Structure 1
Amino acid sequence: MFWNLSSSYSEARGFRVNARRIMSRQHHPVDDLVVSSNFIRAVRESGYLSLSTALAELVDNSLQAEATNIAISIGWSTDALPEIVVEDNGVGMSKDELETCLRFGGSSRFDARQSFGRFGMGLPAASLSQARRVEVTTWRDGAAEQWVALDVDAIAAGSSPNLTARRGSSTSISTSGCRVRWMQCDRIEYRRLAWLERSLHRALGRIYRRFLTSGIAMTINGSQVEPVDPMLLSTKVERATARLEFQPLEIELETSTGETSAVTVRFAMLPVNRWHGLDNATKRRIGIVGQGGVSILRAGREIASGWHLMGAKRKENYDDWWRCEIEFEPVLDEHFGITINKQGVRPSAALREAVEPELESIARLLNARVRQAFEEVKFQTAAETSCRIAAAADRDLPVITSGRRGGALTYRIGSEPMPVESMFRSTLTQRMLDLTLNVDHPAFAALYRPLQSIESEAAMELRTSLELFLLSFARSAAQMEKSGQHFDDLLRIWSSNYGRMLRKS
């Protein structure tokens, strides 16, 4: 019996080809699951809200690769679509990692909970949401670059994706790193480069504020990205900054592995008395107007902002004047409902039950404090006229000496809760007579509050007359005290009698 050698060779060759195809499908079963030409176009609609949120996926990868310097370059010409390059000095990628990085789900850290990435979707999905072609180049140990590319138009036309690493033509300045190049960026809505740069500075500065503060360098077309703190704790205007309210809350939640991890919540209050008079442009620039609410950070990186986990408390204009920051680690992703593009949160029932009651209570308390602060500002503004008149008249009154100092006094009127027996309290310190009205005394509700709520000219004149009456009374008391006469008993008895009469009226 004789074998047909030519037939056997053809069959064997066909077997090897089919075997390679089978092995290829087993190793990368992409075409078994999706239609590439349709999928590549559909993935462009993956839901990234803006260019900054898409770029954040690339910055996440750089930070996970231990980069300390991230440079974003935007090329913009009138006759071509924009091109964006993100380059870092991280650890770079191996050949296998490079050939996997543009595959959807092709992550060496799939479902890892140590840092930003988790699903292996960020780089390809974010890139194609903004650009029609993406190239990824990497290098290590000073060796020549290697690169891979993904082209929307080529794949949509029927070409098979070719993600085999190819040798680059140059070496890079840093020992290792990575460069992602977005070409034909057809989803950018800004018409001017300067507007785009300004928007990216603001957005990325806020998203990565913790990392920028800790020393990570990020530039956009050579300009340093500065941290943007929505809590305004480091924003100094009119010699004032926001301040932390309360001690940070630590709320323990159970993770998917049965362990526990903490959600940390911080609150800040803005200085209403110092910033209320800023013009609207300044308020918008520093982030007072429209920037209130909650900032949520995952592994130190902001993933959501707005009005979250406040229970039944609705947002009001007064809520622009306090801030909340919620921070958690990736092991709690299920509780916060993190999606593949890390935009926004979908809190679980367990998370809501654990944090909303306390956060709602604090939100209402801070709202009340802001309202009170604005009432005090309104009070102070209205009282300035009376204090100015009293100071002008003081030059013609008997001098009250204080130590070696003499001369005219200055005046201030304030208000606060005090024991109900006293209608007001006055102190003389460093030539300033400070008159504090008792908001709990019946006289405040009967006389002062009605006048404060009426904005007519007659009401203002009557209020000024009342304040001058009280200031002159307080000055007379200070004058008697300095001359050795005791006035406290008279003030206490008079306040008590007047209060009783008002209650009967």
Structure 2
Amino acid sequence: MREISIPPYAPMLMESTRALGYSLEAAIADILDNSITAKATNISIKFIPFGEPYLSILDNGKGMNSVEITDAMRYGSGNPLETRDLDDLGRFGLGLKTASLSQSRKLTVISLKNGKLSGRSWDLDHVIKSGKWSLLVLDKKDMLKFPQIELLQLQSSGTLVILQNLDRVGNGESDFEAAFSEKMDRVREHLSLVFHRYISGESGLKSIKMNINNEPLAPHDPFLINKSTQIMDDEKISIGDHLILVKPYILPHISKMTDAEIKMLGGKDGLTKQQGFYVYRNKRLLIWGSWFRLIRKDELSKLARVRVDIPNTLDHLWAIDIRKSTATPPEIVRKNLSRIVGQITEGSKRTWTFRGKKETDDSIVHLWTRLKTREGILYDINRDHPLVEMLKEKLDLKDHKFLHQLLKMIEMNIPLNSLYIDLTNDEKFKNNELYELTDDIKELAELLLENCKNPEERQRFFDKIESTPPFSQFPGKIVKYLKEVNHA
């Protein structure tokens, strides 16, 4: 038996790996992984959508020499089975090449280390022409022609990545400039989320400054930690000598969030789609918004989010793909997560239905009653509510029928479809947001009190009013006010 070497045909393989499914934002995030692994503390992204369009990424990391940069440009420059440094964000040794060339036909990397520039370039058109793995080695004269090179030269070390011939960025678009700019807006949102722990410089991490066209990126914390609650202690799952850390959060009720926070947390898909596990590998967000089929997503669990931190030593068990965009927890982890999921989603339901409890609490006199029938759920106006009773007493008997028909008409015309759409779109409801004792509420209370015919009725009224919405939202205050103005 003998062996022969059959290296893949370069043009075919390089063109094929362009179809791995990278979006522009995922591709740039993959490139930034290299900058972070190289200990960069400042990363500048530049894009020019007109003239000769290009996209560049400049970092101030440790840089590479001639040998290192050649190895970095090799397809499969790292063995995924080898033990990596604990802070290494790489996986297969493919990310820089596959991510960059998924969006462009020319990738150039220029690096500065120990005062010396080294440059290499993959040009797909040149590879097709040569039919070989023809990596271009750049001399100083070549390198000085590239955009942003003067900024690299001002640093003590660092690396510059330039993408040119951006054929996939504007593919199928009639207005390349507009399409490129719009996609870069998505890149900004994506990076702000994926690297939010690095940008914020949380405990144990050195803060990394990132900008796009000189506009700094702000961290997008998907847990809104300053406002959220943690209803469970942190969990630790052991797999051999390795630890997985699990930290559950419940977002605040939507009425407690600003519009900007709702937009940041929900994105274009809304809070319901973004609920679930947020899996971090070395504190870099990999995947999010999934319950790994342990439960289904619904409106009541939309405030539940669980942070899961995994080390890069467990990559093989999580089946992380080349793009670092999919992962599947191993069985031992799924069993532990399944137990946590039930508790965390129940906490979300309690937070989301906080106001709903008032609609089912028997100690409160509700204006609306909820009935479950064989045909479905029925909402009725409570005919025994003090306001309805007061109105009946002020009407003649012949007008009672009119009142009954009016109430039935209101019940039959609840805008259920609009309410459902607003709820699923994370809209705030202003109807029941009462934060202070307004003049309208005071006037309504006085009208009810005037309807009392004797001291006994007045006392029963005082006993009952604080269990009747909207007065029940101001315990103590409403009775005190009425007694003061009426000297009761």
TM-score in same-fold range (> 0.5) = yes
Alignment map for 1:83-102 (pairs within 5 Å): 83-102=54-73
Cα distance change, pair 42–471 in 1 and its aligned pair in 2 (3 A): farther
Deviation at 1:271, TM superposition (A): 2.1
Provide the rounded CA distance (Å) in 2 between the counterparts of 1:100 and 1:284. Answer: 42
- TM-score relative to the length of structure 2: 0.68
Alignment map for 1:168-183 (pairs within 5 Å): 168-169=140-141, 170=144, 172-183=153-164
User: Which secondary structure does the structure 2 equivalent of 1:188 belong to?
Assistant: coil
From 198, 220, 226, the counterpart of 2:218: 226
Cα distance change, pair 85–273 in 1 and its aligned pair in 2 (3 A): closer
From 112, 124, 127, the counterpart of 1:152: 124
- Given the alignment of the two structures, is residue 246 of structure 1 paired with residue 232 of structure 2, yes or no? yes
Give the corresponding residue for 2:299. Answer: 317
Conserved in 2, the CA contact under 8 Å of 1:218 and 1:225? Answer: yes
Amino acid at match of 1:153: D
Give the corresponding residue for 1:205. Answer: 192
Give the corresponding residue for 2:263. Answer: 284
Cα distance change, pair 460–41 in 1 and its aligned pair in 2 (3 A): farther
Provide the rounded CA distance (Å) in 2 between the counterparts of 1:126 and 1:332. Answer: 23
CA offsets per residue over residues 101-153 of structure 1, 9 Å max, x none? 1111124997333221132111111111111010010111233x221111111
Cα distance change, pair 148–347 in 1 and its aligned pair in 2 (3 A): same
Q: Which has the higher contact order (CA 8 A, sep 6+)?
A: 2
Provide the rounded CA distance (Å) in 2 between the counterparts of 1:246 and 1:129. Answer: 42
User: Which secondary structure does the structure 2 equivalent of 1:361 belong to?
Assistant: helix
Cα distance change, pair 148–464 in 1 and its aligned pair in 2 (3 A): farther
- Given the alignment of the two structures, is residue 472 of structure 1 paired with residue 462 of structure 2, yes or no? yes
Provide the rounded CA distance (Å) in 1 between the counterparts of 2:289 and 2:16. Answer: 29
CA offsets per residue over residues 212-255 of structure 1, 9 Å max, x none? 01121011111101111111224xxxxxx22222211111112x
Provide the rounded CA distance (Å) in 1 between the counterparts of 2:31 and 2:134. Answer: 21
Alignment map for 1:391-410 (pairs within 5 Å): none
Conserved in 1, the CA contact under 8 Å of 2:92 and 2:322? Answer: yes
Provide the rounded CA distance (Å) in 1 between the counterparts of 2:168 and 2:254. Answer: 44
Provide the rounded CA distance (Å) in 2 between the counterparts of 1:219 and 1:324. Answer: 28
From 47, 52, 60, the counterpart of 2:21: 47
Alignment map for 1:65-214 (pairs within 5 Å): 65-77=38-50, 80=52, 82-107=53-78, 111-113=82-84, 114=86, 115-143=88-116, 145-163=117-135, 165-169=137-141, 170=144, 172-188=153-169, 191-214=178-201
Amino acid at match of 2:25: S
Conserved in 2, the CA contact under 8 Å of 1:57 and 1:123? Answer: yes
Amino acid at match of 1:294: F
Cα distance change, pair 109–133 in 1 and its aligned pair in 2 (3 A): same
- Given the alignment of the two structures, is residue 451 of structure 1 paired with residue 369 of structure 2, yes or no? yes
Conserved in 1, the CA contact under 8 Å of 2:367 and 2:381? Answer: no
- Given the alignment of the two structures, is residue 369 of structure 1 paired with residue 350 of structure 2, yes or no? yes
Over alpha carbons, which structure has the higher Rg?
1
Cα distance change, pair 325–460 in 1 and its aligned pair in 2 (3 A): farther
CA offsets per residue over residues 473-500 of structure 1, 9 Å max, x none? 1689989x99xxxxxxxxxxxxxxxxxx
Give the corresponding residue for 2:313. Answer: 331
- Given the alignment of the two structures, is residue 352 of structure 1 paired with residue 352 of structure 2, yes or no? no
Give the corresponding residue for 2:290. Answer: 307
CA offsets per residue over residues 362-396 of structure 1, 9 Å max, x none? 244224313532414x65xxxxxxxxxxxxxxxxx
- TM-score relative to the length of structure 1: 0.66
Amino acid at match of 1:163: L
Deviation at 1:202, TM superposition (A): 0.9
Conserved in 2, the CA contact under 8 Å of 1:448 and 1:463? Answer: no
Cα distance change, pair 228–192 in 1 and its aligned pair in 2 (3 A): same
From 12, 20, 23, the counterpart of 1:38: 12
Deviation at 1:39, TM superposition (A): 1.1
From 208, 211, 215, the counterpart of 1:216: 208
User: Which secondary structure does the structure 2 equivalent of 1:246 belong to?
Assistant: coil
Amino acid at match of 1:160: K
Amino acid at match of 2:56: V
Provide the rounded CA distance (Å) in 1 between the counterparts of 2:235 and 2:342. Answer: 13
Provide the rounded CA distance (Å) in 2 between the counterparts of 1:464 and 1:116. Answer: 65
User: Which secondary structure does the structure 2 equivalent of 1:262 belong to?
Assistant: strand
Provide the rounded CA distance (Å) in 1 between the counterparts of 2:316 and 2:79. Answer: 21
Conserved in 2, the CA contact under 8 Å of 1:97 and 1:108? Answer: no
Deviation at 1:342, TM superposition (A): 1.1
Deviation at 1:173, TM superposition (A): 0.6
Cα distance change, pair 368–136 in 1 and its aligned pair in 2 (3 A): same
Give the corresponding residue for 1:23. Answer: none
User: Which secondary structure does the structure 2 equivalent of 1:162 belong to?
Assistant: coil
Deviation at 1:192, TM superposition (A): 3.8
Cα distance change, pair 193–44 in 1 and its aligned pair in 2 (3 A): closer
User: Which secondary structure does the structure 2 equivalent of 1:33 belong to?
Assistant: coil
Cα distance change, pair 130–460 in 1 and its aligned pair in 2 (3 A): farther
CA offsets per residue over residues 299-349 of structure 1, 9 Å max, x none? 0000101213462x2110222222211111111112211122211102222
CA offsets per residue over residues 246-300 of structure 1, 9 Å max, x none? 211111112xxxxx21111112222217338x77x87334536342222110000
Amino acid at match of 2:133: P
- Given the alignment of the two structures, is residue 341 of structure 1 paired with residue 323 of structure 2, yes or no? yes
Amino acid at match of 2:64: M
User: Which secondary structure does the structure 1 equivalent of 2:279 belong to?
Assistant: strand
**Which runs of no fewer than 5 residues in structure 2 stay unpaired?**
145-149, 171-175, 202-206, 372-377, 391-444, 449-456, 467-474, 481-488
Deviates more, 1:37-46 or 1:101-110: 101-110
Percentage of pairs with the same residue: 23
